[in-house]
């Protein structure tokens, strides 16, 4: 028999009889105890490292394709990226929906319903991935032609996407499982699996492309197999982890719960739509840059790539804030959410100052490193101009990410989605309407405008306190 004890007004079970390793798992997963700032930062750091590793891995992947296969192969993979990204956004959005439910049940110590939410999410998205993968495989050629894929790369793009769609269930489960681990307060396991997946992907790319002489089919196979193996490993780890959470007869585990699916869908669907629309919006912004020639496009691409690295700590802090909020709302600790939100300000301010200083000192060398070879004056000017301007406003990206994290963790997805769409709308509108006046600089002038507007909306919602009533369990 397990003895009960009270912590913070909530009944929990003592861990007598539970293995020491499982006790450590539970302690690490609990964001409802300890100093809020410390808990938030320690939880965010593995997410930051994982996202940075992902960025660097993507660069290495592109370099292998471009150097060993050729420009047309690289173009074929690039032509497929916008489409594959939409499918990944569906997985990430679905994972967001599942993570909010899971975190809130964990915070409320309703471990049976927590397990039910995880099982429901995994089954749902596995079935959805099979359906989407089958449709994508059948409509592959038609989709590429509709998107206007150049005829010289159409065949390779068709081959790449065909293999990609066959492996879509692995990619789906990999992303959804990562969200589940984060919801449980475990950001280390996704980091370790991401490192393993990234290294495996690069090795498989080299083996298939450089050694076996395969083309985009080898790249696609590596892209599918690399997350497939970690997905199976992470599923086994998850099963073992969940054994450490005891349930009661009043809080039984169910393999599938339709009502829980509908509850998660209310969060997941707006998140999926928001993520997908953002991807489309950024394509529109890039179309504005295209008007200024290849040099401007090269400089903008280099600056954007570096910016994506710079904002990683901000995004990770926002994601950590979402899990922190959900767990503490589930536990009824609203004041702790407030303390965590205040701590997130200090965290993003620190990262923002470090980023601004690094860019200020190394702006030119960073752009030059990405452009390589002979650098055109236009490319260098656009790249350095974009990066040096945006770097000083990255703190607003962090502030908006923190506020968004509270809303997302609370399940207040309507305002969260609205704020992000306003952000995107401003960036697209300013880029299209002011580029004839300001030149290509209109594209990066619009960036902080969008971030600040997003922050004002999300922060206003936070200050109103309405998010407190949005608990989804």
pLDDT, residue 25, reads 44
At 240, list the tokens.
Answer: 């073992």
Q: Would you report the helix, strand and coil content of the chain in percent, each value rounded to 5?
A: 85, 0, 15
User: CA 129, CA 116: separation in Å to the nearest integer?
Assistant: 20
| Alpha carbon distances (Å) from 166 to 93, 130, 135, 172 | 21, 8, 10, 12
Quick one: which of 165, 152, 156 has its CA closest to 83? 165
User: CA 419, CA 132: separation in Å to the nearest integer?
Assistant: 29
User: CA 309, CA 290: separation in Å to the nearest integer?
Assistant: 23
Which helix or strand (DSSP H or E) is residue 10 part of?
strand 10-13
pLDDT, residue 302, reads 78
Quick one: which of 163, 132, 157 has its CA closest to 142? 157
CB 233 within 8 A of CB 251: no
Global pTM exceeds 0.95: no
| Helical spans, DSSP H, in 108-187 | 111-146, 151-166, 168-183
Q: Which residues does residue 272 pair with via DSSP β-bridges, in sequence order?
A: none
Quick one: which of 290, 293, 348, 294 has its CA closest to 319? 348
pLDDT, residue 77, reads 64
User: CA 256, CA 245: separation in Å to the nearest integer?
Assistant: 18
pLDDT, residue 373, reads 56
Phi, psi of 408 (to 5 degrees): -65, -45
User: CA 10, CA 8: separation in Å to the nearest integer?
Assistant: 6
pLDDT, residue 399, reads 96
Quick one: which of 259, 238, 240 has its CA closest to 182? 238
Q: Where are the domains of the chain?
A: 34-256, 273-473
The SS3 call for residue 13 is: strand
**Dihedral in degrees, nearest 10, Cα atoms 228, 55, 382, 79:** 0
Say how many Å lie between the first and final Cα of the chain, rounded. 28
What pLDDT tens digit does each residue of the chain (473 aa) get?
333 332 233 233 333 333 444 444 444 557 888 889 999 999 899 888 887 877 776 666 666 666 666 655 655 665 566 577 777 778 877 787 778 888 888 888 899 999 999 999 999 999 999 999 999 889 888 877 776 666 777 777 788 888 888 888 988 888 889 889 988 988 889 889 888 888 888 888 888 877 877 777 777 788 788 888 889 999 999 999 998 888 877 788 889 988 888 877 877 777 777 766 776 677 677 778 777 876 787 788 778 878 888 888 998 999 899 989 989 998 889 999 999 999 999 999 999 999 999 988 888 888 887 665 566 788 888 888 989 899 999 999 999 999 999 998 888 888 888 888 898 899 889 999 999 899 888 988 999 999 999 999 999 999 999 888 876 66
């Amino acid at each position: 028999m397990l003895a009960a004890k009270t912590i913070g007004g909530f009944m929990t079970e003592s861990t007598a009889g539970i293995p020491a390793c499982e006790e450590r798992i539970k302690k690490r997963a609990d964001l409802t105890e300890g100093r809020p700032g410390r808990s938030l930062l320690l939880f965010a750091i593995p997410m930051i490292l994982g996202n940075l590793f992902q960025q660097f891995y993507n660069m290495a992947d592109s370099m292998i394709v471009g150097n060993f296969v050729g420009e047309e192969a690289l173009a074929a993979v690039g032509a497929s990226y916008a489409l594959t990204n939409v499918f990944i956004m569906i997985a990430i959005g679905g994972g967001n929906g599942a993570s909010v439910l899971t975190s809130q049940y964990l915070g409320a110590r309703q471990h049976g319903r927590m397990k039910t939410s995880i099982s429901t999410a995994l089954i749902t998205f596995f079935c959805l991935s099979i359906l989407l993968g089958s449709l994508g495989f059948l409509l592959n050629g038609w989709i590429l032609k509709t998107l206007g894929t150049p005829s010289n790369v159409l065949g390779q793009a068709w081959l790449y996407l065909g293999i990609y769609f066959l492996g879509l269930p692995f990619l789906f489960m990999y992303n959804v499982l990562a969200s589940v681990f984060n919801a449980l307060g475990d950001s280390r396991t996704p980091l370790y699996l991401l490192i393993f997946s990234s290294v495996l992907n690069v090795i498989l790319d080299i083996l298939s492309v450089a050694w076996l002489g395969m083309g985009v089919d080898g790249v696609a196979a590596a892209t599918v197999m690399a997350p497939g193996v970690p997905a199976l490993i992470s599923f086994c780890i998850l099963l073992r982890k969940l054994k450490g959470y005891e349930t009661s007869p009043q809080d039984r585990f169910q393999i599938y719960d339709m009502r829980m699916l509908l509850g998660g869908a209310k969060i997941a669907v707006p998140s999926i739509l928001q993520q997908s629309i953002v991807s489309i919006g950024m394509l529109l912004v890039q179309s504005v840059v295209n008007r200024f020639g290849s040099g401007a496009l090269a400089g903008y691409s280099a600056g954007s790539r570096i910016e994506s690295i710079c904002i990683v700590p901000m995004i990770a802090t926002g994601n950590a804030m979402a899990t922190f909020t959900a767990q503490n709302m589930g536990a009824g600790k609203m004041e702790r959410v407030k303390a965590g939100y205040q701590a997130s300000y200090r965290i993003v301010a620190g990262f923002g100052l470090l980023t601004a200083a690094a860019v200020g000192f190394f702006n030119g060398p960073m752009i030059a490193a990405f452009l390589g070879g002979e650098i055109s004056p236009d490319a260098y000017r656009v790249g350095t101009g974009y990066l040096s301007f945006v770097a000083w406003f990255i703190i607003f990206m962090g502030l908006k990410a923190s506020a968004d994290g509270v809303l997302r963790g609370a399940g207040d997805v309507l305002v969260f989605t609205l704020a992000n769409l306003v952000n995107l709308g401003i960036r697209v509108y300013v880029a299209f309407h002011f580029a004839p006046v300001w030149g290509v600089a209109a594209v990066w002038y619009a960036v902080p405008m969008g971030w600040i507007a997003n922050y004002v909306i999300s922060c206003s919602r936070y200050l109103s306190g309405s998010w407190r009533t949005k608990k989804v369990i």
